[in-house]
Structure 1
């Protein structure tokens, strides 16, 4: 039961092919975790992610801990920025 990404506005889709490739590789690193990461980037809460994916909020928390560790970040905002290929200062990474 995968999560299907919503179409993003054109301004959010701008970026290099390398950044797009990085987003796909990060999401593909752990398939269920990748679904969680996509939901996180769409702004869903842990409970909303759990309901959408048919898992418990505890499982979402575990996936998030794993994602944070793999990405080398400590919070949701940093994870989404890394997933989108940006730094916290708005500079593309």
Structure 2
């Protein structure tokens, strides 16, 4: 009977551990997603059209590692976003 009682306990531990991993993954992913959104919101508030090129630039700013903000900045300049706006938006993406 001891062996039978151990299976539900192991299952409960496994379920709890899985839930903890999912919760941590969600908590860590949320800020990164918000950073690209902050970049886009900043530009939208300054009357830029936020289309695929802006979204791609903000995503690069968010996910591009150490060179992400520079790549974002160059991408936004290429689509005629003012330099000051591009700088602020890309810094928001990398936060």
TM-score, length-normalised on structure 1? 0.31
Q: As a proportion of its length, which structure holds more helix?
A: 2
